[in-house]
Structure 1
Amino acid sequence: MVEAEDVTAAEWTEDDDWTDEALAVLRALRAPHRRNRFKQIAFALYCTVLILVIWGGIPSFGLFLHASLGADYTGHGPDLLAAMPSGIAAVGLATVLLAVRDGLWRGPVVPPRATTDWLLAHPVRPRPVLRPWFWLSCGLAAFPGLVIAVGGMVALGLTVRVGLPAALGWCLLGGLCLPLLGVCAGLLVQSSPRAARWVRRLTPYATLLVLALATQSALAVAGHPVRWLEKVELWSGPWGWAGLAALAPTPAAVPGGAFAAALLVVSTVAALVLADRAAGTLALPLLRERARTAAGVLAALRTVELRAAKLTVAGASGNGRQVRVRLPAPRQRWLILYWRDALSLLRTPARLGRAVLLTVPAVLCAVLAHDTGGVVSWAVTVVALAFDYLAVAQLLEPARIETDDVRRASWSPYPFASLMLRHAVVPTVLGLVLAAAGSAAALALGGGPAAWLALIAVPPLVAAGLVNACRGAARRDLLYRPQPAGGTGLAFFAAWYAAGPAVAVPVLALPFSAALRSGSAGSLPQSSAIALTVALVLLQWAQGRAGKLPAQARPGAVGQL
């Protein structure tokens, strides 16, 4: 197929080039659609700006008004300046990482399927067709950077008393250049299989580095900065140059900030020029594949099939690759299920790695909850439990695969509901191992008996994940359920979709927050009793949900969901 297209392209001559005429005809034919599309985009932009003004602009104006009347926010200035070097490097590196990961399955140049399947198959030059899509991706990426730059201006103006024009100008350098560099890097990954292989190989290490930078930023706020390491990070690449630029108008400015800003601008301009030239050279088979993948993900999102969208992205980006691992087969038949679950997780080490990585911020948030009080401690405990849940949810993939198609369970001698309960054993054991490691690290750093709360939290969080795994087909009817105050039923759908953690996390946060604040061993029995009760209730709920799945999967039952 590819060879035939290459031969056809080689036979085209300048006399066959109808690019300008074809694009002119298409512009005329699509004028009504373009006007309607422009109205939709303008309305979406209006709503976005309105939300930003209501939730960001008006409160910021109120804070500046209070500051003009004598309110002092400079007490937060030292903490902000301490967090900026490593924090900006972490955000910048995460931005570039997300952009290159996007290039693995979609990329910045993805025209619609009609363009790839029909228009580009004709004798037209691809460059005039593809360049607008690249620059559209650049504009979409620059908008969040602009919002973040304005937020940085407000924060610096309130806490450090930096002039607003200077703060905005220096923050804009990183807020605009880093997303644009990410788009260019995503185009490189989209066009180069070799670059894509390197991205897949280096993603775990880059993720670890982002977490390490975020941890270092938190330690700097707590009064434990490492100045020499911060200087290395600030000069390590564009993600650090953005931090140097943002620090330039502040009292914590690092020498060479103007030079770093110039490097950032020059590298961004050079990358945009090279990417603009490369945008028109993408292979047509690649564009077709990416257009189909993007269309499939969009269709799954429109029908609220979030797992289908996630699996499509994972398959296209190579996240579903398995490693050849062998485990000795068990001699007892009742161990076969646990052997299959353990083997499935070992063959996808990315899930185990994500579980380990998500455990780290959970432990850090628990330490922070120990040092705070009141509502803040409860809120931080909720965040810690949310990270804990996401960690154990990575280990429940075998259960989710089982519920994707209940016919897979035909091999099992157990009823489906009983089978799903058995799928919780391996995640619980692995979760306890991770929690024990986190508790040991907390105890080594001087944590009290409350560090063992990590072990207590595992069973109810695994049960919450099992409730989510057994939710069945998407209940799109909930989106249209009327509410007393009007509007759509988005809240109903969200409550159904995340029912397990929505129940477990807030309920566990109350006793766990109290135990973390007290730090004594006397609060552990009460927390354990509550956690055990929550786990039993959620397991009963999951069993009830799982028992309905085989009936729902029968022909004619889908329409009743």
Structure 2
Amino acid sequence: MTRPAAAAEPLAPAPDADGPADTPAAWTADDDWTDEALALLRALRAPHRRNRAKQAAFALYCTLLILVIWGGIPSLGLFLQASMGADYTAHGPDLLAAMPSGIAAAGLAVLLLAVRDGLWRGPVVPPRATTDWLLAHPVRPRPVLRPWFWLSCGLAALPGLLGAVGGMVALGLTVRVGLPAALGWCLAGGACLPLLGVCAGLLVQRSTRAARWARVLTPPATVLVLALAAQSALAVAGHPVPWLERIELWSGPWGWAGIAALAPTPAAVPGAPLAAALLLAPTALCLVLADRAAATVPLPLLRERARTAAGVLAALRTVELRAARLAVTGASGGGRQLRVRLPAPRRPRLVLYWRDTLSLLRSPARLGRAVLLTAPALLCGVLADGTRGALSWGVTALALLFGYLALAQLLEPARIETDDVRRASWSPYPFADLMLRHAVVPTALGLLLAVLGTGTVLACGGGTAAWAAPLAVPPLVAAGLVNACRGPARRDLLYRSPQPAGGSTGLLFFTAWYAAGPAVALPVLAPPLSTALRAGTPAHLLQALLIALVLAAVLLHWARSRAAALPRLAGPS
């Protein structure tokens, strides 16, 4: 066998100045068997690769089939109707009004998600066998790690391509823009932003300093995304801020993508070629630099990330969604606790509420997410006040969904209690009664947030309908408690199908079980709250209050029944 020439590149991962150092055993170019080892592995894994290729081809076929059925054929039908005289241009002004801030929000969200992915996984994560065995031998890391980086780039670019095609269809139907021009300009942002996100994720993955900055900047970036989305919604409602939109469009890559997408439309912003160049040139440069840096990720970090990714994938395969979420949170450093002290209560019956309050104060991220999610809930409620019919119900349901997600952040002490029922052995209460008491602190904090939000809306000129926000808090907390008491994952529901000939409905059954609380609360609350928001009279508010209290009582009884069954499901301690 012919030995290769000495490699010019480093033979071991170069440790990052900010990250953990890797100190492999010293070896020289004469010990380099990289090419032979990879060739042997390719030969040994040829049957496995063929099977994986078949699985990937089948997954690609299913994906394309879904896209054609649910996207291509309906889009073609809309274009055929437009050619026969159907007019969709009435939606054009709303789309153009939403695009500046909306595209900036979407672009910033893409970059934020990519950076957060770099905190726990990253774009360079080979399988555990590669990190535990292959890279521990004298092989050059670049030929091993580089393909995984480009695989991440390809997977990230695919949603961007689909988004560009969707933008082309929307602009072609509502603004009557030429399809080739619309696709070309939309691709500038749809392709470049995900690739920039992958490069940023690699930087966060290999540098502890970048990871610290990512954790620090995540809250303000999240606030900015929500603010941009709110501004987009207000622009559609007829309240645009042109000078602020112009600043946002030139503020960074997230805005340059919006300038490029607006280029073929009547709302084009001057400087579109410059914005496209600002997207393409840095993306190409970042890809070149990231391609070189992919081989410098420290080996201990690769091992840690590979184990985390394998654990999350195993949890997802067994439908343990909470376990997957906790694994991601722990690996990304999102579970940091603050040292906060509260004076202990003198009355024993207040100990539980003191523990719940202290637990939330020591997890400021959850309180911050609750506040952030309250903002879009109030915004959707304001928008529902100006709509009619089924659209008002839909916007109200969206407001309730955001409200439920906000209150769910405050129910983490209850979920921790149900993770292991043996933790409740200290309590003098039966487990079912203990779980009901876990709803007190979230309800109090939720009412406080709702009242503060209502006061803000009233100060901005809103009507008395703003008092509908506090009415939704008790039933939404009760819905969250129902979900907290659901117990172990009912994977058996995935295989139940009352109509085998018509296809499995197991996923529908599992989803109904998993999200039972909000699935009941939102449809029941949306109609009366929508009516109260539009009418704003004390009679309608009183009617909504009665429905909310009755629904809260029913959901609390349901949560108590579920909680009473948890000790039996857990078995003897």
Is the shorter-chain TM-score for this pair beyond 0.5, marking a shared fold? yes
- Distance in structure 1 (CA, Å) of the matches to 2:515 and 2:183: 39
1:122 Cα deviation from its structure 2 partner: 0.6
Aligned pairs for 1:59-74 (under 5 A) are 59-74=74-89
Secondary structure of 2:472 counterpart: helix
Counterpart residue identity of residue 14, structure 1:
A
Which of 484, 494, 510 in structure 1 is aligned with 2:527?
Answer: 510
TM-score, scaled to structure 1: 0.97
Task: Name the CA shift for 1:45/1:520 in 2 (closer, same or farther; >3 Å).
Answer: same
Secondary structure of 1:372 counterpart: coil
Partner of 2:49: 34
Which of 422, 428, 447 in structure 2 is aligned with 1:432?
Answer: 447
Partner of 2:304: 289
The alignment yields a C-alpha RMSD, in angstroms, of 1.5
Say whether 1:349 aligns with 2:364: yes
Which of 526, 538, 561 in structure 2 is aligned with 1:544?
Answer: 561
Which of 76, 79, 86 in structure 1 is aligned with 2:94?
Answer: 79
Aligned residues: 554
Partner of 1:492: 509
Partner of 1:529: 546
Q: Which moves more between the two structures, 487-496 or 290-299? A: 487-496
1:478 Cα deviation from its structure 2 partner: 0.8
Say whether 1:96 aligns with 2:111: yes
Contact 2:105 2:228 survives alignment (8 Å): yes
Q: Which moves more between the two structures, 541-550 or 214-223? A: 214-223
Render the CA deviation track for 1:62-81: whole Å, top value 9, x for unaligned.
11111111111112111111
1:365 Cα deviation from its structure 2 partner: 1.1
Say whether 1:370 aligns with 2:385: yes
Aligned pairs for 1:398-437 (under 5 A) are 398-437=413-452
- Distance in structure 2 (CA, Å) of the matches to 1:194 and 1:306: 30
Counterpart residue identity of residue 23, structure 1:
L
Counterpart residue identity of residue 130, structure 1:
L
1:446 Cα deviation from its structure 2 partner: 2.5
Contact 1:448 1:520 survives alignment (8 Å): no
1:375 Cα deviation from its structure 2 partner: 1.1
Contact 1:479 1:493 survives alignment (8 Å): yes
Partner of 1:383: 398
Aligned pairs for 1:24-423 (under 5 A) are 24-423=39-438
- Distance in structure 1 (CA, Å) of the matches to 2:207 and 2:279: 24
1:524 Cα deviation from its structure 2 partner: 1.1
Contact 2:427 2:434 survives alignment (8 Å): yes
Render the CA deviation track for 1:451-477: whole Å, top value 9, x for unaligned.
111111000110110111011111111
Counterpart residue identity of residue 549, structure 2:
L
Q: Which moves more between the two structures, 93-102 or 60-69? A: 60-69
Partner of 1:519: 536
Render the CA deviation track for 1:399-425: whole Å, top value 9, x for unaligned.
000000111111111111111000000
1:6 Cα deviation from its structure 2 partner: 5.1
- Distance in structure 1 (CA, Å) of the matches to 2:280 and 2:224: 24
Render the CA deviation track for 1:282-332: whole Å, top value 9, x for unaligned.
110000000000000000000000000000000000110011111111111
Q: Which moves more between the two structures, 363-372 or 177-186? A: 363-372
- Distance in structure 1 (CA, Å) of the matches to 2:87 and 2:454: 40
1:351 Cα deviation from its structure 2 partner: 0.4
Secondary structure of 1:70 counterpart: coil
- Distance in structure 1 (CA, Å) of the matches to 2:157 and 2:110: 11
1:7 Cα deviation from its structure 2 partner: 5.1
Q: Which moves more between the two structures, 516-525 or 243-252? A: 516-525
Secondary structure of 1:465 counterpart: helix
Which of 455, 478, 481 in structure 1 is aligned with 2:496?
Answer: 481
- Distance in structure 2 (CA, Å) of the matches to 1:509 and 1:314: 32
- Distance in structure 2 (CA, Å) of the matches to 1:135 and 1:19: 20
Which of 462, 466, 469 in structure 1 is aligned with 2:481?
Answer: 466
Contact 2:22 2:298 survives alignment (8 Å): no
Task: Name the CA shift for 1:297/1:169 in 2 (closer, same or farther; >3 Å).
Answer: same
Secondary structure of 2:487 counterpart: coil
Render the CA deviation track for 1:20-72: whole Å, top value 9, x for unaligned.
00100111111111111111111111111111111111111111111111111
- Distance in structure 2 (CA, Å) of the matches to 1:433 and 1:219: 25
Counterpart residue identity of residue 539, structure 1:
L
Counterpart residue identity of residue 433, structure 2:
S
- Distance in structure 2 (CA, Å) of the matches to 1:483 and 1:176: 43
Structure 2 unaligned blocks of 5 or more: 1-12
1:555 Cα deviation from its structure 2 partner: 4.6
- Distance in structure 1 (CA, Å) of the matches to 2:409 and 2:85: 50
Counterpart residue identity of residue 206, structure 1:
A
Counterpart residue identity of residue 547, structure 1:
A
Contact 1:92 1:240 survives alignment (8 Å): yes
1:344 Cα deviation from its structure 2 partner: 0.3
Secondary structure of 2:568 counterpart: helix
1:519 Cα deviation from its structure 2 partner: 2.3
- Distance in structure 2 (CA, Å) of the matches to 1:286 and 1:118: 14
Partner of 1:447: 462
Task: List, as ranges, runs of 4+ consecutive aligned residues in structure 1 with deviation greater than 3 Å.
Answer: 2-9
TM-score, scaled to structure 2: 0.95
Contact 2:22 2:299 survives alignment (8 Å): no
1:382 Cα deviation from its structure 2 partner: 1.1
Structure 1 unaligned blocks of 5 or more: 557-561
Counterpart residue identity of residue 28, structure 1:
A
- Distance in structure 2 (CA, Å) of the matches to 1:67 and 1:251: 20
Identity over aligned pairs, percent:
79
Contact 2:21 2:298 survives alignment (8 Å): no
- Distance in structure 2 (CA, Å) of the matches to 1:299 and 1:259: 46
- Distance in structure 1 (CA, Å) of the matches to 2:24 and 2:392: 67
Counterpart residue identity of residue 35, structure 2:
D
Render the CA deviation track for 1:52-111: whole Å, top value 9, x for unaligned.
111111111111111111111112111111111111111000000000000000000000
